[in-house]
Amino acid sequence: MAYLLQYVDDMIITDSSSALLQRIIAELQAEFALKDMGNLHFFLGVEVTRSASGFHLSQAQYAEELLDRAGMSNCRPISTPIDVKPKLSTSSGELVPDPSEYR
Contacts 24+ apart (CB under 8 A), 61-70: none
Question: Residues 21-80: pLDDT tens digits?
Answer: 888 888 888 888 887 777 888 888 888 888 888 788 899 888 889 999 999 988 888 887
Residue 7 has pLDDT above 70, yes or no: no
DSSP code of residue 91 = S
The answer for residues whose C-beta is within 8 angstroms of residue 60's C-beta and 6 or more apart is: 47
Helix, coil or strand: residue 98: coil
Write the CA distances from 33 to 25, 27, 28, integer angstroms.
11, 11, 8
| Whether the model pTM is above 0.85 | no
Domain ranges in the chain are 1-40, 41-76
The radius of gyration of the chain from alpha carbons, rounded to an integer in Å, stands at 22
Give 42-48 contacts, CB < 8 A, sequence gap 24+.
43/7, 43/12, 48/5
